[in-house]
Amino acid sequence: MKLSEIVNILEATVLVGNDQLDKEITRGGAADLMSDILAGLSDKCIFLTGLTTIQAVRTALVADVSAVVFVRSKNPPQEVIELAKEQNVPVLISPYSMFVSCGRLHAKGITGLDGKT
């Protein structure tokens, strides 16, 4: 599905990447441990996390994830937004918890990083 659909499903606010809402997303990973995302490399994936550190964006960059979602309405510090803008990584904020955010996406067909449902 397109990133714009993910924005709707998660009732998310787009902090960075309004120009990238056409991006295709098929998989997702949720973690507060960066290595879990780094270990499960995948194409066209979204990365949900409750950690709003600059390392969440750097992890997204090296793992090549298509977008980052901060759950539970967590607002990242300005430096995190600046890095995401500079490196062109879409960043969303969802009011839902990690559990509910994942559930909503999974119910609409987003698979795990390994492609399993």
Partner 1 sequence: MTDLKKIFHVKGNDFTHAGEASVNIKNMLKSIGLDPKLIRRIGVCGYEGEMNMVMHGGDGTLSIEINTDKIILYLDDNGPGIEDLELAMKEGYSTAKDEYREMGFGAGMGLPNMKKNADEFTISSKVGRGTQVKMVFSLNH
Output 5 or 82, the one with its CB closest to partner 1: 82
Output 7 or 52, the one with its CB closest to partner 1: 52
Output 1 or 51, the one with its CB closest to partner 1: 51
Cα separation, 77 vs 74, whole angstroms: 10
Picking from 81, 99, 82, the residue whose alpha carbon sits closest to that of residue 10 is 99
- Are 29 and 37 contacting, i.e. CB atoms less than 8 angstroms apart? yes
Output 79 or 114, the one with its CB closest to partner 1: 79
Nearest distance, CB of residue 19 and partner 1, angstroms: 19
**DSSP secondary structure code for residue 24 in this structure:** B
Nearest distance, CB of residue 79 and partner 1, angstroms: 8
Cα separation, 78 vs 102, whole angstroms: 26
Nearest distance, CB of residue 33 and partner 1, angstroms: 5
Of how many residues is the chain composed?
117
What residue ranges bind partner 1 (CB under 8 A)?
Answer: 31-36, 38-39, 41, 49, 51, 53-56, 58-59, 61-64, 79, 87
Nearest distance, CB of residue 41 and partner 1, angstroms: 5
Tokens 């977008």 sit on residue: 67
